[in-house]
C-alpha cells in the first residue's frame, strides 16, 4: 500500500507523469503555433519532432554554466530551482487521475492563488539578482503586470468556490460531477476573464511584456545560461500544465470519467484543448505595451470580474 502511494507520488499521476505532460504540451504548443503560421514546426527530432523539448532540455543541461561577476550568487542559484519546484508542488493539488487529487484540503484553491503570486515574485528576484539592466527592466515589468492581473484573477476564481460551497479544487470538481454540469456553462464570463489573466500569468504573447525580445533582449532571464535556463524553461512548461489543469478543474468538469474513457485521459484531452487556445492566442495577437496592458486590466477586466462575482451572489451561475 505504501509502495502504491509512493508510485502515485513519483510516477503516476505524480512527478514523472506531470513532467512528461509538460514536455508534451510544449511540443503541442510549438506545433500548433507553427501550423497557424503555415509551417511544420519541429520535425526531425523524434517522430514529428515530439522529442524537441527533451532535446532543448538536455542541450541546456550540458552547456557551460556562466555566473556573472556582479550577480547576487545565492539568489541566482536558488531561484531557478524554486521556480521549477513550485508548480510541480502545486500540481499535486490538481485532480489528474481521479476527481480526488493526491493532496487536497479545504483552502487549497487559496494555496494555488498564492503560488501564482509567488511565481511572479520569483521572476522578479531572478531578474533582480542577475544585475543586468535588461533583466531589471523585465522583472519590474513582470511585477507591474502582476499588480494588474492578480486582482481580477483572484475575484473570478472565487466564483466557482462560491457556487460549489468549497475552497478545495477537488471539492469543486466533485461538485461539478455531482450536479452533472460544467463551470463554463454556469460562469462563461468568469472563464473568459481567467483565460485572459492566465495569458498574462504565463507571459504569453499579448502579454509577453516582461520578456519582449525586440525591446529588452530576453527580459528577466537574459543572464541565465545552461542548467539554470533549463530549469526556468521546465518551470514554465510545468506552469502551463498547472494553469490548464486549474482551468479544466474549475470550469471544464476536471478529471471525470466519461463512459469508458478514464479520468486521466479526459484530463489530458481537456488540458490539451486549453493549451491549444493559449497557442492560438499567442499566434494571433501582437504584444501590448505595459501601460496599455495595465490600463486595460484595471478599466475593463476588473469591472467584468466584479460583475461575475455579483452575478454569482445573485444566484445566477451557482
Partner 1 sequence: MAVNWARSGSPWLIHFNTGGCNGCDIEFVAAITPVYDVERFGIKLQGSPRHADILAVTGPVTVQIAHSLKRVYDQMPSPKFVVALGTCAVSGAPFRNCYCVHGGVDSVIPVDAYVPGCPPKPEAMIDGIAKLLQKIRGTKG
In this structure, the number of other CB atoms found within 10 A of the CB of residue 282 comes to 18
Nearest to 254 by CA among 238, 271, 237: 271
The sign of the CA dihedral 83, 271, 265, 172 is positive
Q: Which residues contact 85 (CB under 8 A, 6 or more apart)?
A: none
Closer residue to partner 1 in complex, CB, 58/185: 58
CA distance 186 to 263: 22
Site membership for partner 1, residue 105 (CB under 8 A):
no
List the one residue from 40, 105, 114, 300 that touches partner 1 (CB under 8 A).
40
Site membership for partner 1, residue 235 (CB under 8 A):
no
Site membership for partner 1, residue 77 (CB under 8 A):
no
| Residue where the block lists cell 545552461 | 226
Q: Tell me, residue by residue from 130 to 169, as one string, x for binding to partner 1 by CB under 8 A and - for no binding.
A: ----x-----------------------------------
Q: How far is the CB of 96 from partner 1 (least distance, A)?
A: 28
Give the chain's length. 318
Contact 240, 90 (CB under 8 A): no
List the one residue from 224, 251, 267, 278 that touches partner 1 (CB under 8 A).
224
List the one residue from 7, 44, 77, 114 that touches partner 1 (CB under 8 A).
44
List the one residue from 226, 264, 280, 309 that touches partner 1 (CB under 8 A).
226
Tell me the three state secondary structure of residue 261: strand
Q: How far is the CB of 21 from partner 1 (least distance, A)?
A: 20
| DSSP letters for 73-121 | HHHHHHHHHHHHHHHHHHHTTS--SSSS-SS--TTHHHHHHHHHHHHHH
Q: How far is the CB of 233 from partner 1 (least distance, A)?
A: 10
Among the listed ranges 45-53, 83-91, 289-297, 304-312, the one in contact with partner 1 (CB under 8 A) is 45-53
Site membership for partner 1, residue 66 (CB under 8 A):
yes
Site membership for partner 1, residue 83 (CB under 8 A):
no
Number of residues that bind partner 1 (CB under 8 A): 37
The C-alpha cell that represents 15 in the structure block: 512527478
List the one residue from 6, 10, 55, 284 that touches partner 1 (CB under 8 A).
55
CA distance 119 to 189: 25
Site membership for partner 1, residue 42 (CB under 8 A):
yes
Site membership for partner 1, residue 47 (CB under 8 A):
no
Q: Which residues contact 181 (CB under 8 A, 6 or more apart)?
A: none
Enumerate binding residues for partner 1 (CB under 8 A): 30, 34, 37-45, 49, 51-52, 54-59, 62-66, 134, 213-214, 217-218, 221-226, 229
Amino acid at each position: 500500500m505504501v509502495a502504491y502511494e509512493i508510485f502515485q507520488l513519483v510516477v503516476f499521476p505524480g512527478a514523472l507523469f506531470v513532467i512528461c505532460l509538460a514536455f508534451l504540451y510544449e511540443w503541442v504548443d510549438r506545433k500548433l503555433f507553427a501550423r497557424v503560421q503555415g509551417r511544420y514546426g519541429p520535425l526531425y527530432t523524434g517522430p514529428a519532432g515530439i522529442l524537441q523539448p527533451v532535446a532543448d532540455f538536455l542541450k541546456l543541461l550540458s552547456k557551460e554554466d556562466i555566473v556573472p561577476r556582479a550577480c547576487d550568487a545565492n539568489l541566482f542559484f536558488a531561484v531557478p530551482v524554486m521556480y521549477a519546484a513550485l508548480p510541480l508542488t502545486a500540481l499535486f493539488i490538481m485532480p489528474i487521475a481521479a476527481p480526488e487529487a493526491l493532496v487536497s484540503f479545504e483552502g487549497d484553491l487559496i494555496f494555488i492563488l498564492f503560488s501564482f503570486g509567488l511565481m511572479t515574485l520569483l521572476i522578479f528576484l531572478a531578474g533582480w539578482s542577475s544585475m543586468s539592466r535588461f533583466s531589471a527592466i523585465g522583472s519590474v515589468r513582470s511585477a507591474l503586470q502582476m499588480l494588474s492581473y492578480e486582482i481580477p484573477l483572484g475575484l473570478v476564481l472565487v466564483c466557482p468556490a462560491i457556487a460549489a460551497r468549497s475552497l478545495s479544487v477537488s471539492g469543486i470538481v466533485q461538485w461539478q460531477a455531482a450536479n452533472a454540469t460544467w463551470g463554463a456553462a454556469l460562469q462563461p464570463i468568469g472563464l473568459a476573464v481567467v483565460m485572459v489573466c492566465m495569458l498574462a500569468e504565463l507571459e504569453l504573447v499579448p502579454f509577453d511584456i516582461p520578456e519582449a525580445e525586440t525591446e529588452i533582449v530576453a527580459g528577466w532571464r537574459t543572464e541565465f545560461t545552461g542548467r539554470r535556463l533549463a530549469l526556468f524553461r521546465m518551470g514554465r512548461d510545468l506552469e502551463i500544465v498547472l494553469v490548464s489543469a486549474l482551468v479544466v478543474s474549475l470550469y471544464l468538469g476536471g478529471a471525470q470519467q466519461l463512459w469508458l474513457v478514464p479520468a486521466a485521459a479526459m484530463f489530458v484531452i481537456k488540458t490539451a484543448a486549453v493549451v491549444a487556445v493559449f497557442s492560438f492566442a499567442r499566434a494571433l495577437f501582437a504584444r501590448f505595451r505595459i501601460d496599455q496592458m495595465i490600463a486595460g486590466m484595471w478599466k475593463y477586466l476588473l469591472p467584468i470580474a466584479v460583475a461575475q462575482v455579483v452575478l454569482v451572489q445573485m444566484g445566477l451561475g451557482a
